Amino acid sequence: MTKPSYGLTKGAQLIPNGMLDDNYPRNMWWCAAHRDEVTEKPLARWLLEKPVVLYRLADGTPVALDNRCPHRWAPLSEGRVVNDQIVCPYHGMEFGADGVCTRVPTQGAVPPSARVQSYPLRESGLFVWIWMGDPEQIDHDPVDMAYTTDPDWSVVNGLMEVEANWVLIRENVLDLTHIAFLHANTFKQGDWDNPPEVTMEGETIVYRQDFPPSPLSPLFCAGFGFEDGKVVKREQEGRMPSLAISFSDWNVHDIDAAPGERVDYLVRGCHIVTPAQRGKTHYFFAAAFDVPGVTDEVLEKTKANIVGAFNEDKDLLQKIQAQVSEDPRGLDFPEINLGADGAGVRVRQVLKRKLEAERNG
């Protein structure tokens, strides 16, 4: 039986990324699911190396329980929800939303210890957030995602299962200089010649970079109603308010706008990662245009293009994870940092502090 290590493996890395370990802080909100994935039909999902079942009560309240019946360990997700009780598929034991057993079909009394852990959930925008750590330590809300369901925005979103540690994705989305290489044929935004400026605003990592006029990535033109090849000025701004989520704002300035016409546009990428099992991550993404009423046809095309580009990341990160896992040297291999790693290095600093705080606290 493997115990969670709650730590980072030492290697040749200055601050290890922990990619082969359990490197997941517990006392924070992680994304459990898209809101519409959680229904009256139970959903089984590994979250932070625990099997969890997610479902919704008749009044719409979402519920998360350990997905192991405390009797003979059947996955509750194989059962059904009846009268707001989840019924174990094996012997029919029933559990309420608090995880307490309410009925054993073959006997009158319910053993008092018959209960499973229930996890706090909160919904914001398109997403359901879960707190897997000590519920006493909940001291803030999940990041506000209301814009993702705001009719003034047009949104595409999705979920990719990636066989790589979450930090690899986190670093990937916070260093966009890779777009010029890995995504040369998809994003086609090759003007990342310098690293962005990176600062901390409290605990939030922030990067900013201005780009002179150049053709906007074809991934985003249709969403704004631009023709392909539209030349714009851009300010790229990224924010990571939590290890679980970061935003990537493409602030677009139409340099050819006629007087009185709209000049400034924004497409906000959002990158949400949730550790699943060792070396496996749920990656929820959304791209939101601050333009209402984009047609389904345009959104579907945009989503297909974005997924195509993100699959380039997925393929490479999975190759990295697999190769490092199979290489007997593991993390004991040189790892240098570049100027473009300003945000990524801060991710590791934040992570290291958080893991140490949980270990000591």
- Residues in contact with a second copy, counted by CB under 8 A, come to a total of 69
Tokens 């140490």 appear where? 356
Can you tell me whether residue 123 is helix, strand or coil? strand
Q: Which stretch binds a second copy (CB under 8 A): 32-40, 66-74, 157-165, 255-263?
A: 66-74
Q: Does 360 bind a second copy (CB under 8 A)?
A: no
Q: Does 291 bind a second copy (CB under 8 A)?
A: no
Q: Does 106 bind a second copy (CB under 8 A)?
A: yes
194 vs 295 by CB, closer to a second copy: 194
Q: Does 329 bind a second copy (CB under 8 A)?
A: yes
Are 227 and 192 in contact by the 8 Å Cβ rule? The answer is no
212 vs 260 by CB, closer to a second copy: 212
From the list 251, 164, 236, the residue with the least C-alpha distance to 195 is 236
14 vs 257 by CB, closer to a second copy: 14
Spatial separation of the C-alpha atoms in residues 131 and 122, rounded to whole Å:
9
Quick count: other Cβ atoms within 10 Å of Cβ 295? 10
Q: Does 4 bind a second copy (CB under 8 A)?
A: yes
From the list 74, 95, 78, 77, the residue with the least C-alpha distance to 86 is 95
Considering only residues 15, 43, 74, 291, which one is a binding residue for a second copy as defined by CB under 8 A? 74
Q: Does 129 bind a second copy (CB under 8 A)?
A: no
The site string for a second copy over 294-313 (x = CB under 8 A, - otherwise) reads --------------------
- Beta bridge pairs of residue 122: 129
Measured CA to CA in angstroms, residue 12 lies from 15, 16, 342 at distances of 9, 8, 19
Q: Does 26 bind a second copy (CB under 8 A)?
A: no
Spatial separation of the C-alpha atoms in residues 69 and 87, rounded to whole Å:
10
Written as six digits, the tokens of 127 are 């997403």
Are 2 and 335 in contact by the 8 Å Cβ rule? The answer is no
Question: Residue numbers of the site for a second copy (CB under 8 A)?
Answer: 1-4, 9, 11, 20, 22, 46, 49-51, 67-68, 70-75, 78, 87-92, 104-107, 111, 113-116, 168, 171, 175, 177-178, 180-182, 192-195, 277, 316, 319-320, 323-324, 326-340
